[in-house]
Amino acid sequence: MSSARNSDSDTQQTLAPPVLKHTLHQEQSSVLSLATHRDWIFSGSQGQDIYVWDRKSFVLKTSLRGHTEGVLALELAPAKNWLFSSSGDRTVRIWSTVDLAPLYVINPYLEAEAGDLFSLAYSPVLDTLYIGCQNTSLQWINLSKPDVKSGSQTPPSGSLTPKWHRFFDSFPQAERKPPGEDSPNLTKTLLSLRRDSRPSVITRTTATLQITAQNTIDSAHFGYMYCMALTPSPLEVSDDEAREDGAIELVTGSGDETVKVWSCSEKGVTWVHTFSGCDGGVLSLVARNGTIYAGCQGGHVKVYDLDTRTLVRTIMMPDNSDILSLSMIDTDLYTSSASGWVRRWSAHCDCTSSWQAHEGIILSSVITHDESRSDGFILATGANDNAIRVRNVEIAPPTQNSNLGPPEHLLPEPNVVTHLYVDDTLVRGLHDFVQFPSVSSLPENREDCRQAAIWLRKFLTQLGAEASLVPTQDGLNPLVLATFRGSEGKRKKSRILFYGHYDVIPAPKEGWDSDPFDAVGTNGYIYGRGVTDNKGPILAAACAASNLLRHRKLDLDLVMLIEGEEEAGSMGFAEAVKANKELIGAIDVVFISNSYWIGETTPCITYGLRGVVQANVEIRSHRPDLHSGVEGGAIQEPMLDMIRLLGTLSDSDKIRVPEFYDNVRPMQNEERELYELLSKVTQRPAASLASKWREPALSVHNISVSGPGNATVIPSSVKAQVSLRLVPDQNIEVVSQHLVDYMHQSFSKLNSCHTLDVSIERTADWWLGNLKSCWFKALEQAVLDEWGVRPLRIREGGSIPSIPFLEKELNCGALHLPMGQSSDQAHLPNERISLANLKKGKSVMERFLVAVSQFQD
């Protein structure tokens, strides 16, 4: 398994596609733009005309003619009974929606040099029309007292030859061909209409309005201005309310991959903010209730919060096709893609429905009230298949709040295996994440590790982070670096780094009750390799930040640094961090969640880890392997030397390496009282806990031999692996050197004819958190508030090399919050994590992030 499924057939959809009400066919002409009126549906064609369809009968009423190139945008001014249209002919025209007659022609500043007029937005409050131009200028005209210029224009008559358009005449994205004269959608090869074959055309002499230089911002973007929207939205289906200060803002999107916000008033237009990093040109926009949705090339929808000026989420299309149109009712977002698919998304950015609406590229869409149904709406989409599809749509019922978890009737019954509750972003994400057998120690799983990193980057992006892959060394798995950016305020934001790892250890199926790489819910637990170590905690932290971001409560930056080699010794991690410190940025505290409670019911906070020195010891003979029946007793044997050498490392209760205990920190009364408390809770002797957590230790892990290893062979080479666990305040470099020196000294006393090699394979420093820091106190309070019980302060006998390394490299402290229970079976068959622990771990993270965001500089 190298990738998780990601297609429309596999997305969790809860609503059926809407019913197709009617199909309208334009005469061999792409539908570039749409607008709806109480009586009419207006469709802007590539063949220069605006088709007018009767809303009730769906009959073509007439066509409005005057433009000489494709009609790129349509906009209504209902109170004035006006329709605005902009075109590739460098003009905007105003039409009456009462008698369907032309009223005015608006010439942009610099006229022909303005280029194609891609986008329009009309503010009824300011009675101003805004225009996005190909020459990257933003222009506007106040229509309350239009300055009518001398002269007039009469719409042309007769058949017109349509021109190829570089933006709308193109091949589907999948064909990877540039648009050109041989494009399959080329209008001039399709359109052969005669004037007398069309319905009647209303013509009238029109007055001309001119936009001045004072109403123009040159180079408003560094690319074509494809789309714009006003906020609060004046559209009829919008539930936006006017702001208390009466402010009106214009949002513009461009091929320069930015979204810009402009303040609009009677005095003109002023730049306010730029959202950058849209991962492709911005082709469509919709704004509602202080939120901007930007449809981009490559199938991304960027979701921005206007109040906090932050990226909230990123929605990604399964087919990666460009999003040329967006529409919205209530909290339901409809994305129309170049693939011909329409998808409906909930307020939680879940795809609730999808369908193929057209055989071609969808270029336009609009939602309006359905006059035949009091609470109904219609969605009209237009494409380069020359069709307009009209569908009945409803406001979707509210989905289950993902923060609350499954409703009670979906919780697992005793002794029942269930599928995971898929409407929960956290649990659904964990289910997908576990599918990747990201085993870092096995070469055959290298691609699975890479695919897991790619999936995680995409998932974090969807949650609202700015995410990327950071290479390490050749042949090693990449880091995933993501940042959830909080609201900008007057004071400096805190920056927290969450460290985790997406790699796992092997999971042979023997001993498992289910597929280790298919997360299964049973009796309130999720089973699967990596659910507790460390994929579950990673996603819990990410979902916590995303939830705060979505509710505009994230007032700090959460940086997530997730490696893919932790289970294989974190090779390349330190070097990659050092090389990318500028990219990571300044950090105030490091946060880890990669361990377990001491029991099953009481939450814990880990504040200490032992360090480790791992050494390889080898004793070699100059002879080959020999037969013990031939040479036994006549020669010195490497195995006996190894046994004697290892025996010199310790006696009954002490490690004999010189100066080993000199710097061990004595136990203070406060710590002694803590062990007594833990002893009562765990029913384990306090001395036993102390010996495992805060006292150094020696272990011999294995002895291996050359040759076949049977009982008749004297091996010529014997190897052993030895480790020392270190505690505060032992110096890891000093202890490592003393170990090597002592073993050589001890070996020399054996008067052996053999050769000894001692090498330090790996080291990790000890770590001790600061229990008096404001960060630790905030975390302890967050656990107390969520669980209703004060967490136990615990230490662990193991080592996590990255914690002390990150502390030193980033010059900050660290915190360690275990989410799993002692029975989670990490590294063992049937690894699991409690669903309650996972969700409460997410909630603890949310509480902590909110609390520390209030810290003063």
- Three-state secondary-structure class, residue 397: coil
DSSP string, 699-757: EEEEEEESS---TTEE-SEEEEEEEEEE-TT--HHHHHHHHHHHHHHHHHTTT-SSEEE
Q: At which of 729, 764, 799 does a domain end? A: 764
Helices (H) then strands (E): counts for the chain: 14, 49
Given a contact cutoff of 8 angstroms between Cβ atoms, the answer to whether 352 and 399 are in contact is: yes
Residue 142: inside a domain: no
Using CA atoms, how far residue 457 sits from 427, 561, 574, 576, 765, in Å, is: 17, 11, 20, 17, 30
pTM: predicted TM-score of the whole model, two decimal places: 0.69
Does 488 participate in catalysis according to the annotation?
A: no
In a shared domain, residues 639 and 749:
yes
In a shared domain, residues 701 and 575:
no
What is the distance between the alpha carbons of residues 52 and 34, in angstroms, rounded to a whole number?
10
Which one of 503, 786, 796, 846 is the catalytic residue?
Answer: 503
Measured at the CA of 777, the angle between CA 774 and CA 780, to 5 degrees, comes to: 150
Phi (first) and psi of residue 259, to 5 degrees: -115, 130
Strands laid side by side in the 117-123 sheet:
117-123, 128-133, 138-142, 216-217
Residue 703: inside a domain: yes
In a shared domain, residues 634 and 730:
yes
What is the distance between the alpha carbons of residues 133 and 261, in angstroms, rounded to a whole number?
16
Question: Beta strand pairing status for 206-210 and 102-107?
Answer: parallel
Residue 181: inside a domain: no
**Number of other residues whose CB lies within 10 A of the CB of residue 692:** 16
Residue 129: inside a domain: no
In a shared domain, residues 603 and 626:
no
What is the distance between the alpha carbons of residues 289 and 312, in angstroms, rounded to a whole number?
14
Given a contact cutoff of 8 angstroms between Cβ atoms, the answer to whether 744 and 758 are in contact is: yes
Burial readout 148-171 (b: 16 or more C-beta within 10 A, e: otherwise): eeeeebebeeeebebbbbebbbbb
In a shared domain, residues 577 and 706:
no
In a shared domain, residues 757 and 800:
no
- pLDDT reported for residue 350: 84
In a shared domain, residues 507 and 587:
yes
- Three-state secondary-structure class, residue 295: strand
Given a contact cutoff of 8 angstroms between Cβ atoms, the answer to whether 205 and 152 are in contact is: yes
Residue 426: inside a domain: yes
Give the DSSP H or E segment for 546.
helix 536-550
Burial readout 274-311 (b: 16 or more C-beta within 10 A, e: otherwise): ebeebbbbbbbbbbbebbbbbbbbebbbbbbbbebebb
**Number of other residues whose CB lies within 10 A of the CB of residue 750:** 16
In a shared domain, residues 500 and 469:
yes
Tokens of 49: 């005309």
Phi (first) and psi of residue 803, to 5 degrees: -65, -60
- pLDDT reported for residue 423: 43
List the CATH number of the domain containing 602: 3.40.630.10
- pLDDT reported for residue 159: 31
Sign of CA dihedral 8, 9, 12, 16: positive
Give the DSSP H or E segment for 190.
helix 187-190
Q: At which of 709, 743, 764 does a domain end? A: 764
What is the distance between the alpha carbons of residues 142 and 676, in angstroms, rounded to a whole number?
78
Given a contact cutoff of 8 angstroms between Cβ atoms, the answer to whether 480 and 473 are in contact is: no
In a shared domain, residues 551 and 586:
yes
In a shared domain, residues 574 and 601:
yes
Peptide bond into 770 cis (omega under 30): no
Residues of the domain holding 359: 21-64+318-396
Residue 820: inside a domain: yes
Residue 557: inside a domain: yes
Count CA atoms within 13 Å of residue 609 on its CB side: 25
In a shared domain, residues 589 and 615:
no
- Which of 308, 349, 843 lies closest to 556, judged by CA? 308
* Ranges in the chain, pLDDT < 50: 1-11, 150-200, 399-423
Total length of the chain: 857
Structural domains of the chain, count: 3
List the CATH number of the domain containing 700: 3.30.70.360
- Which of 776, 655, 676 lies closest to 726, judged by CA? 655
- pLDDT reported for residue 184: 37
Does 565 participate in catalysis according to the annotation?
A: no
In a shared domain, residues 451 and 511:
yes
Which one of 69, 385, 563, 566 is the catalytic residue?
Answer: 566
Residue 305: inside a domain: no
Phi (first) and psi of residue 428, to 5 degrees: -65, -40
